[in-house]
Amino acid sequence: MMKLKQLFYLCLFVGVLSTVIVGCDDDDDFQPFDHAAQAVIDDEALVDYLKTHYYNEDLDSIKEVDNSQIPFFDNVSTMVVEENEITYNLYYIVTEEGVGYQPSKIDRVLTTYRGELLDGTVFDFRNSIAVGNPWFSLQSVIKGWSYGFTHFKGGTNISMPGAPIEFEDIGEGFLFIPSGLAYLNGGSGNVPPNAPLVFTVGLHDAVPEDHDSDTVASNLEDIDGDGDLLNDDTDGDGIPDYLDVDDDGDGTNTIDEDANGDGDPTNDDTDGDGTPDYLDSDS
In a domain, 113, yes or no: yes
The answer to whether residue 27 sits within a structural domain is no
Domain count, the chain: 1
10 Å CB burial of residue 244 (0-12, 13-18, 19+) is buried
- How many whole angstroms separate alpha carbon 197 and alpha carbon 265? 41
By C-alpha distance, which of 137, 281, 267 is closest to 209?
A: 137
Q: What is the pLDDT of residue 15?
A: 39
In-domain check, residue 108: yes
Q: Please check whether residue 165 lies inside any domain of the structure.
A: yes
The residue range of the domain holding 108 is: 33-207
Q: Is residue 277 part of a domain?
A: no
Classify residue 275: in a domain, yes or no. no
Per-residue pLDDT band at 6 (split at 50, 70, 90): very low
Q: What is the CATH number of the domain that holds 58?
A: 3.10.50.40
- 37 within some domain: yes
When the pLDDT of each residue in the chain is averaged and rounded to a whole number, the result is 88
Domain membership of residue 227 (yes or no) is no
Q: What is the pLDDT of residues 108-124, one digit of tens each?
A: 999 999 999 999 999 99
* Choice between 259 and 39, residue whose per-residue pLDDT is larger: 39
